[in-house]
Structure 1
């Protein structure tokens, strides 16, 4: 006799699990007379985050800053994965491709107590136009840099 039975299975997703992680419930699938019950296998998928991109255990974020702050340094508030923010100070000149790494603020590592890093890439916002006077002042200020 075949009896239809419903069972609720719970998956406790652990922090740091990556796309492709499989969770198997052995013998919890369909049964047929004369056969062993089937396994149920779930495969973890990752949902895209609006701010962060995941690379292994590291998280990447892009932060936009104005040109003046890129040249003179700045303090800014950076969002963290849990919803908090962290205040950081950058005193170096921020150039194209500049990246600041905050150790231990990435994803948890499933195999240990370590966390990945938060990698901040800066997008420098340039002015769209300058007056002749601003161009002249900029040239005189930056003449020694070229």
Structure 2
């Protein structure tokens, strides 16, 4: 509610009353408002969740917000974009934008696809277990090139993924 004191209709032979407005926020297709923060849910593919993606979303004032990711994005993961929310009243500051990522999984896989995915994931596990790379380094770092993961079996894993699995995912 916003009040404008003494800007309302005057009482007969008296002072002006207060003018009050009650403001309701209309629902939006993409954004939900909580105070000065905005929340949005974005759907990405399983491949995008695993290898990263480049994506922008159009904000309420039509400027683009880069929500790209270079690493793995987990289902229901929430990323905060500072200062991309609604303006704070009587301030230059803004709230934040929180984006929740939904991951679109394939609805079915052939037996051949299942076998290949299993082989890829087992190859990854075996590579980690041999001591070439510590598990924590893989999960905590987003720059996998630093650990040589785009060479030896990783190069093959990526090749298999794009050649044999990705084309068949619906």
- TM interval, shorter chain, is 0.7 to 0.9
Unaligned runs of 5+ in 2: 129-170
1:39 aligns with 2:18: yes
CA contact (8 A) 2:37 2:86 kept: yes
1:116 aligns with 2:95: yes
**Residues 27 and 113 of structure 1, relative CA distance in 2, 3 Å threshold:** closer
Choose between structure 1 and 2: higher strand proportion: 1
Aligned to 2:35: 56
**Further displaced range: 45-54 or 80-89:** 80-89
**Correspondence 1:1-146 to 2 at 5 A:** 21-26=1-6, 28-29=8-9, 31-32=11-12, 37-143=16-122, 144=125
What SS class does the counterpart of residue 63 from structure 1 fall into?
A: strand
CA distance in 1 between counterparts of 2:7 and 2:88 reads 30
CA contact (8 A) 2:39 2:99 kept: yes
Flag the structure with more relative contact order, 1 or 2, with Cα contacts below 8 A and sequence separation at least 6: 1
Unaligned runs of 5+ in 1: 1-20
CA distance in 1 between counterparts of 2:81 and 2:10 reads 48
CA distance in 2 between counterparts of 1:69 and 1:48 reads 29
Question: For 1:20-59, what per-residue CA distance to the aligned partner results, in whole angstroms no more than 9, with x for missing partners?
Answer: x3223526236346x6554332112111112101112111
CA distance in 2 between counterparts of 1:125 and 1:68 reads 9
Alignment: residue pair count: 124
CA distance in 2 between counterparts of 1:112 and 1:38 reads 28
**Over aligned residue pairs, what C-alpha RMSD do you find?**
2.1
